[in-house]
Structure 1
Amino acid sequence: MKNIAIIMGGYSSEYQISLISGKVVHRYLDQSKYTGFCIHIFKEKWVYVDADQKEFPIDKNDFSVTVNQTKITFDCVFNAIHGTPGEDGLMQAYFELLQIPQTSCDYYQAALTFNKRDFLSVLKPYGIKSATSYYLNKGDTIQTNQIVTKVGLPCFVKPNKAGSSFGISKVKTEAELPIAIEVAYQEDDEIIIESFLDGTEVSVGVINYKGEIIVLPITEIVSENDFFDYEAKYQGKSQEITPARISDEMTQKVGAIAKRAYELLKMSGFSRTEFIIVNEEPFMLEMNTIPGLTPESLIPQQATAAGISLTDLFTNAIELAL
């Protein structure tokens, strides 16, 4: 039996979703092969939480835990932290230093994909299209007329490094820009303002499954709200249709772009890339390297559609890491 540390929580607004993802991983872990440990990672404490909700502190020197005088070490870490420090490369670098295998991509890929601005810039020379964008750092002078001239209206104001649609606003008038920018600054000190793409939104899961990079069935996202925001993602305010209602040609095309991005960046583990298709052209929005793993989340839905059970999905991630 191998000991698997399932890390969950994190330091961002996404910690509650991460706790749900982590518990799902724990529930569906193959218990004939692995013993799962729920490890909560918060700014104020790193603890192992047992079945009785009792907490045992993690020794950060070697990422071990002592329970009833017995020291427990881990063969592999299953990373289920959305946002910092699990999705931005910090935990990946820490485990690399400790030489503990973990299920997500390496630290460089995590840091790059977590930074929407840098990620899209790296892929641009390969012909991968993205929205027209305008960048702001906290403290920059806000010139709303310049922003509107570049990206047009409506536009999206997003924190550069945050997930689950926290801090995102759809802006319809120039007067709304300063408010939206303030909202985004609550999540991050860098902002990306993007032109509005009016088209079909799809989410493409790409994983390494048994040593082969595969594209999972694609999900189309139809939000009841103005865009695929937090409510749409987690409170049922959207329809997620798998497989997406797009042509076979477009399925091939957008799948090939997502797979190419995965390969170009030398990714490993899970990835979920968002696109908006406008006039038969896919525009890439972002890539998530630790996508939600709740049963409602997109990657589990797509895996199920591909005939891959959650237990198989999680076993595969651990075996590849090992």
Structure 2
Amino acid sequence: MSVALPPPRMSDPAVFGRVAVLMGGTGSERAVSLDSGRGVLAALRARGIDAEAVDGIPALVEALVQRRCDRVFNILHGQRGGGEDGIVQGLMDAFAVPYTGSGVLGSALSMDKIRTKQVWLSLGLPTPGYARLRKGDDVHAAARTLGLPVIVKPSQEGSSVGVSRVFDDAGLDAAVELAARYPGELLMERLVEGDELTVGVLAVGEALYALPSIQIVPRGDWYDYEAKYLSDDTEYRCPGASGEAEAEIGALALRAFAAAGCAGWGRVDFMRDRASGAFHLLEVNTAPGMTSHSLVPKAARQAGMDMEELCWRILETAL
């Protein structure tokens, strides 16, 4: 399957000027971000782009003050020292330096899974029922209201950090204890039993395009941190749906991405209910992984783009 993307808008690498590849940072996803950043840096340099690695926000501030970069390829993951919560986007806006990915609003909103769900629900977009948990809330009562099984996770982390699947009341306290190690509120979400899928989104000019969907089939029970970044046993089926279902999930991904105020590129994650076949939105990633195990590069290959072309196209969104 291929996606009918227009050709790249630029052919001369000099048009990008000096590019800072922002990676690493001090967030919980530092290791993944460094791995992603190394891949992006190699791809840009292979295309003749003048790119340098910048590790974390203080190093970016130094580069901006010294005018060492003309634009930023942001592959910094997560929040609080990461690059997906809107803070670093505000910094780059203040210096009037263009960057890849979503701006302040889309980044901040998408980092908060609870408020993203509130926006989607207000627009009638499908997402699993949830409870917002503050410190001291009765998690057992919340689970009874939603109905077990449930997912418990930090509302502002990525890469499956702090996430637990809970199938009985006895497992709730340990799940909450794990999720509470991370900043922010907790999200309890009805567990949709079925297939996990994801759709990459890429802007070309003013238009958004959905890349082929991917169905994720981990060897274990679910797609946890190990299955995402460490295991070679996870199976990726691309496209993950077929016919009308593939068109449906692509269109839903674009609607969800735009509704969250996102731009440039990203990834929208779904569950597909095994019984009904219905798609349910989980979250938007505004700086998805770009490692050897990552999903957007896999979908791009299915659409006929290698890593170098994908990174070039993402960088074009910062022109």
> Within 5 Å, which residues of 2 pair with 1:145-224?
146-224=141-219
Q: Does 1:116 align with 2:116?
A: no
Q: Determine which structure has the larger strand proportion and give its number.
A: 1
After superposition, the C-alpha distances for 1:149-192 in whole angstroms (9 at most, x for unaligned) are: 21222211010000000100111221211111010011223100
Q: Which amino acid aligns with 2:251?
A: A
Q: Which amino acid aligns with 2:257?
A: Y
Q: Which amino acid aligns with 1:260?
A: R
Give the whole-Å Cα distance in 2 for the aligned partners of 1:149 and 1:293. 39
Give the whole-Å Cα distance in 2 for the aligned partners of 1:36 and 1:28. 10
CA RMSD of aligned residues (A): 1.7
Q: Which amino acid aligns with 2:202?
A: I
- Does the 8 Å contact 1:276/1:282 carry over to 2? yes
Runs of 4+ in 1 over 4 A off after TM superposition: 30-33
SS at match of 1:29: helix
1:31 CA drift (Å): 5.0
SS at match of 1:321: coil
Unaligned runs of 5+ in 2: 1-13
> Within 5 Å, which residues of 2 pair with 1:61-76?
63-65=64-66, 73-76=68-71
Percent identity, please. 31
After superposition, the C-alpha distances for 1:194-230 in whole angstroms (9 at most, x for unaligned) are: 1111112110111103543111011001122222110
Q: Does 1:127 align with 2:124?
A: yes
Q: What's the counterpart of residue 55 of structure 1?
A: none
- Does the 8 Å contact 2:116/2:260 carry over to 1? no
TM-score by length of structure 1 reads 0.88
One of 12, 20, 34 as aligned partner of 2:49:
34
Q: What's the counterpart of residue 4 of structure 1?
A: 19
Give the whole-Å Cα distance in 1 for the aligned partners of 2:103 and 2:290. 19
One of 234, 238, 247 as aligned partner of 2:242:
247
SS at match of 1:206: strand
- Does the 8 Å contact 1:64/1:74 carry over to 2? no
Distance 1:200 1:3, change over 3 A: same
Q: What's the counterpart of residue 16 of structure 1?
A: 31
One of 273, 292, 297 as aligned partner of 2:294:
297
1:135 CA drift (Å): 1.2
1:30 CA drift (Å): 4.7
Give the whole-Å Cα distance in 1 for the aligned partners of 2:190 and 2:278. 15
- Does the 8 Å contact 1:133/1:150 carry over to 2? no
- Does the 8 Å contact 1:30/1:315 carry over to 2? no
TM-score by length of structure 2 reads 0.89
1:10 CA drift (Å): 2.1
After superposition, the C-alpha distances for 1:117-152 in whole angstroms (9 at most, x for unaligned) are: 000110112221111111112x223341x1222122
Q: Which amino acid aligns with 1:28?
A: A
Q: Does 1:142 align with 2:138?
A: yes
After superposition, the C-alpha distances for 1:233-260 in whole angstroms (9 at most, x for unaligned) are: 112252111111x331111111111011
Give the whole-Å Cα distance in 2 for the aligned partners of 1:210 and 1:194. 36
Answer 1 or 2: higher relative contact order, Cα 8 Å, separation at least 6: 2
| Farther off after superposition, 26-35 or 77-86 | 26-35
- Does the 8 Å contact 2:133/2:139 carry over to 1? no
- Does the 8 Å contact 1:155/1:171 carry over to 2? yes
1:32 CA drift (Å): 5.4
Q: Which amino acid aligns with 1:20?
A: D
**How many residues are aligned here?**
299
Give the whole-Å Cα distance in 2 for the aligned partners of 1:256 and 1:305. 18
After superposition, the C-alpha distances for 1:259-309 in whole angstroms (9 at most, x for unaligned) are: 112233342122111111111211101110110011320000001110112
Q: Which amino acid aligns with 1:230?
A: Y
Unaligned runs of 5+ in 1: 48-57, 66-71
Give the whole-Å Cα distance in 2 for the aligned partners of 1:19 and 1:171. 31
1:11 CA drift (Å): 2.3
One of 90, 93, 114 as aligned partner of 1:96:
93
1:109 CA drift (Å): 0.4
